[in-house]
Each structure stands twice: as structure tokens, then as C-alpha cells.
Chains A and B, each alone.
Chain A
Amino acid sequence: MSFPPNIKRKFWGKLFDSPIMLASGTAGFGEELLNLNCLAGVGAVVSKAVSLKPRAGNPPPRLLETPYGLLNSIGLANPGVHHVLNHILPETSNLPCPLLINVAGESVEEFADVVSILESSNVHMGYEINVSCPNVADGGAAFGVDPEVVLRVAMGVSRVTARPFSVKLTPNGGDMVLSAKAAVEGGASAITVCNTFLGMHMDWRTGKSIIKRKVAGYTSPALLPLVVAKVWQVSNAVSVPVISSGGVSHGEDVLQLLAAGAQMVQVGTRLMRRPFAGAELMDEMKKLTGE
């Protein structure tokens, strides 16, 4: 690796002008942002989670902003894989950048089932297998903490697709390095480090949390050093590229993650403030590196 890191990246055999990916759940399927003209500077879009059956999502309120971050309890709301395949993916064929589909499952088999159904579409480049959602009772993060289960999920997905896929891990429990190694053994072509941190807000007057599931996924620019550390650990332990996810709000954050070993860098929560984050982060990086 050379320092400062190159902004142009090679990932999954393709050259990318930008290392920036829009994180799952914060960019829909990219088409809304395309309509807003927000995809400049974006290397790839990761779709919101897709599950076998439609999921209504968690009861509101689903968001709770804290002074330094955001709690979300979306609960993988999505119209189900068949609707996505027939009605949403055709609309994304004009995206100016590759699309990865984020896949959720309630059982080891379901991940492969969803992927095999999506195989009949040719608009997406690959998958991100979400074994790490903190916001659902079944499946979700419980999968990601057990390397044995991660291995089985990855093997199942490898069997049904020739497309590359990343496995998105959880920072909540387990040993991320062990889970990452298991994912690679099962055939993963990248590791996404990582999903949201488990968080909670307490109303001290009532002892209640206004989020109905009580705990939620927490994101914040202040979590950047935690993600940098995880990216550094995982990228030193596995042979496949690491996609970072978490903590980015400025161009310098992206450069830090690239220097720590990330091949691509996702940005999520920052899009809530800055829908044009892709172009802004690229400008900031180019200024810093003179590239």
C-alpha cells in the first residue's frame, strides 16, 4: 500500500474512480438519489436489506437522534425479494454506478434463497450478506457472532451465485476477526466492517425507551476510531478486500479508513445531513491529497 492512499480503487476486478459506497438502508436502491442528482462521486450503491418475505418493519418511532448520533430501529422494512426483483431492480438499470444488494435472512438457508431468486436479474454487481442487523428478533446479528454460522451462510450463498459477495459483520459480541475468516472460508469475496453498534436511549423520568424494541442501532461520527481499529484488525487477518462501514462524515475520515486497510468505504448517516456526500467527500479528499 502507498500513502497517502490512492483515491482510485480496484475492487472485485473493476476500477472505481471513487472509493465511496452508499451504505445499506441509507440510500434506498439508489434511484431516489439519482432523481436528486446525488450520485456524483459515488463508486457504488448498496441497497436496503432485502428479505424473502415482505417486512413491514418495526413500529414507529424508528429514529431517535441523540446529541452526538442517531439510533435507528427500522427493522429491515422491505417489500420482499419478489417485489424487489420485479418492480424495483428494473428501475435501477440506469444507475451510473454498480449496485450491491444487501440480503437479510431469518435462517441460514434464507440468505441463499433470496440470492438465488435475485440471480435472474442482471442489474446488480454482487451482494452484501447482512448477518448483523441489531434491529430484528429473528436472525440479524445473532448470525454474525458465531463463526460456524457465518461459514454456513457464506457457503450457502457461494453455492447459488457466481457473483462476488461481501459478508457484513456485527461489532456487537463475538470476535470479528474469527467471523471474517469464517466468511472467507465459506467463499466471501469481501468483508464489510461493520454494521451498527447496539445502542439505547433511556427516558430517566419513566424508565422507558421510546423505541419499541428498546435497543437500536447506533451510528455517529464519534465512532470512527472504533471502525478504523476493526478495519485494521480484519484487513490484516484476511486476504479479501475489506469494505468499511461506519463513522464517515468528512474526506479525511475516508482517507483514514483507506490507510487502515479498507478497499472501499461506505457512508450512511452522513447522507441524512448531506445527500450530496459522495461529491463532497471526493472534493475534500482531492484537496487533501492533491490527486
Chain B
Amino acid sequence: MLSCAVPLDYDCLVTRREEVLPGVVKIFFQCEGIAATALPGQFVQIEPSPGTFPVTRRPITINSLTDDGFELLFDVIGRGTELMAVMSPGDTVRVLGPLGHGWMTDPGSKWLLIGGGLGAAGFQFLKDSVDTAAILIGASCSDRVIPLDASFVVTEDGSTGSRGLVTSLISEEHLSNADSIAVCGPVAMMEAVWKTIPEKHRHKVQISTESRMGCGWGVCDGCSIPISDGGYKKCCKEGPVFPGTDIDWKRWKEAGL
């Protein structure tokens, strides 16, 4: 596993803001510290507003790096992300990062990326860093397919690609061509993908998890993900990316988010 840089709390300048899909915003931040140290699959804890509320930050995956900073791509779903969506060029925002353990990348490894909806947001950085054999994306409709140059896209309503679920794209050929398999999306989608992948390929699978977070750096024990030995691991510190074999799907689904 690659060693991680000590996260720092940066004041980052917003340099650009784009609405990439309806209700999905991409924001560019200037931050040489994070650009120099972040690894694919890591996240940041961002302050949605300068005031006292909300009392916690929001965890967002580093979507990709630029020469002098990074970008975040997020879905506007609630109060925190609504505040973030109106950030505009010239604003200065507090961002702690890079945080967590990202994708476990071995040099020379060929990757299969399987994403569900906005879950594919984290793939750009991985794709920029590794050798990708194929990218399979499933989404509910065309408004939820993020631009990524995917090899195959399906949507539930058929508005982009053919009609279907991402599991229908998973073939033995894709699986055996890959040394590593990255999965990111809603829990139910990831479990369906896990179940579709035959036992003999499962050791290659890495799962990017999400949990409600307090601190984001391992001290509050608020972000636990149920793991297969019956215990828990911290999404923010030991994850957010875990070997697929670590995940206790049943208990994780029961937990909800």
C-alpha cells in the first residue's frame, strides 16, 4: 500500500465552477499541497460555509488533479452540498486533505472500473493514474452519466446506451483481462456487482465505501463500516477503499447510510 501524506487544512481558492449535469457541480480549487500529495480514491473534508453551522464538514472524493490543485464533483442533495454548490471563483474555502486510504494500486496492474451513477465521480483520478482495461458505467438516466469516456454505458431508462443495469455489462472477458477491479456507487449496486463477480475474481475487487462522518481523520469512531469478521473498520481512516472481501454486505445494507 502506498504511504499517505499527512493531511493539512488548506485555505483553497475556487478558480472555476461548472454544472456538469443538472444538480451536479464541479468545482476547481487551487491547492498545490493537495495536488502534490493526493492519491486516487482519497477524499477531502470541506467546509460548506464559513459560519458555525453546519457543525461538521462534508466528505468528497478528489475527482481529479490539476497542475496546481484539484477538483471535486458532487451531487447537490442537501443543505451542505447546496451551500457548496454556490461557491464561486474568488471564494476561499477551508479544505482538509488528502484523507483516507485510496485505491491500492500495484505498478503495472490493469484495471476494470465499474461505477454506478455519481459513484463514478471518483474514477477520473484513478483513470488518470493507472492502466485501464475497461470502464463500465450504469446510471438511472442520461442526466446521471458523468463525462468519463466510459467503454460501456447503460441506463435504467435507456436514455444513454442500452437499457439495463451495470451488472449486465460484466463479462468473464472483462474480469479476466483485469488484475484489479474498482467498484464505486450506491451500496445496493455495489452488492449486486459483487454477487455477479464469480468467486475466482473476487480477490481483485476493491470497494469504495461511504459513511456519515464526523471528523474524517480517525478520532470519533462515527464512520464505521461493518466488516466480514463481525467487527467494524473506519471508513475515513482504514478506507474509504476496502478489499471487497472485507465487506460484510448484509450488515452494511442493514445499516443504511
Contacts and interface: CB of A to CB of B under 8 A. Distances in A.
B24 interface: no
A168 interface: no
A175 interface: no
Classify the secondary structure of B's interface with A: loop
A46 B172 CA distance: 53
A80 interface: no
Interface string B206-239: 0000011111011111111110001110000000
Contacts of A25: 220-221
A26 B215 contact: yes
Given A25-B220, A33-B219, A69 B55 contact: yes
A235 interface: no
A184 B96 CA distance: 42
A32 interface: yes
Contact of B217 (A36, A65, A74): A36
Contact of A60 (B215, B217, B218, B255): B255
B54 to A, nearest CB: 6
A164 interface: no
A59 B254 contact: yes
B222 A62 contact: yes
A245 interface: no
Interface stretch (A136-144, A194-202, A272-280, A283-291): A272-280
Interface string B44-67: 000100001111110000000000
A26 B221 CA distance: 9
B256 interface: yes
B251 interface: yes
Interface string A104-121: 000000000000000000
Given A35-B6, A273-B47, A67 B218 contact: no
Contacts of A273: 47, 55-57
27 contacts: A26-B214, A27-B219, A28-B218, A33-B219, A56-B231, A57-B221, A59-B254, A59-B255, A60-B225, A60-B226, A62-B221, A62-B224, A63-B56, A64-B212, A65-B56, A65-B212, A67-B54, A69-B55, A72-B214, A77-B221, A250-B52, A272-B55, A272-B57, A272-B214, A272-B220, A273-B55, A273-B57
Interface of B: 6-9, 47, 52-57, 79, 96, 211-215, 217-226, 230-232, 251, 254-257
Interface of A: 25-28, 32-33, 35-37, 48, 56-57, 59-65, 67-70, 72, 74, 77, 210, 219-221, 249-250, 269-273, 275-276
